[in-house]
Amino acid sequence: MCAVEVSNSSGVKRKADNHGEKHDKKRPVPPWALGLKSSMEDPALRVEDDDKVVIIKDKYPKARQHYLILPKEDIRNLKSLNAEHIPLLKHMQKKGQELADKSPQCQFRLGYHGIPSMSQVHLHVISQDFDSPCLKTKKHWNSFTSEYFIDSSDVIKQLEEKGSVTVDTGKFEGYLKQALKCHVCKKDFKTMPALKSHILQHAPKKTS
């Protein structure tokens, strides 16, 4: 069955065929999970774009600097990736590194959530200060500081070696339940307020 490429008014591309349409009907995406698609079109969030990707500010940032890089091609999640997407992911990583290089005083990580809540693959570019009022729960914390957060280079490596990305759902859900631990000094904490107060000592001073 031949695939056809279509795009919506925002320029987001998707590939569809009869088999793919049937699969989507069996596993519909809930409306709230499509929020990133509308965010890609929001001028208040958009940072830049090119022919392959759109870069936006995270609407609910979990650090002082938190960006999302989204492909214009419709790709639901990591499991939807294959070897043909390697050039795209390398381009996304390059754009993410360019963002990080603009703030040399900060440390950044570039990566993906193993089981993202939102549909459409997106690369997080997030500073490691985690100084944000939107960072509230253990789930938030562990989603960025445990193995639940997969480095961009590791995703690309899996595609290069296997042609696909493997995510063990049970294992990844377990990462979100891990005890609270400082990502720098590895000290344990019982509550999020205590952890958030502690990690400020590791964060660079804010510039006016």
Residue 187's DSSP bridge partners are none
170: in domain: yes
2: in domain: no
Pairing of strands 66-71, 53-57: antiparallel
54: in domain: yes
207: in domain: no
pLDDT in tens, 89-129: 999 999 999 999 999 999 999 999 999 888 899 999 999 99
13: in domain: no
- Structure pTM? 0.84
CATH code for the domain of 167: 3.30.428.10
63: in domain: yes
Mind telling me the catalytic residues? 122
* The total number of structural domains that make up the chain: 1
> Which residues span the domain enclosing 102?
28-199
How far apart, in whole angstroms, are the C-alpha atoms of residue 18 and residue 31? 22
- The reported pLDDT for the residue numbered 208 is 59
pLDDT in tens, 42-89: 999 999 999 999 999 999 999 999 999 999 999 999 999 999 999 999
> What is the average pLDDT value for the chain, to the nearest integer?
87
19: in domain: no
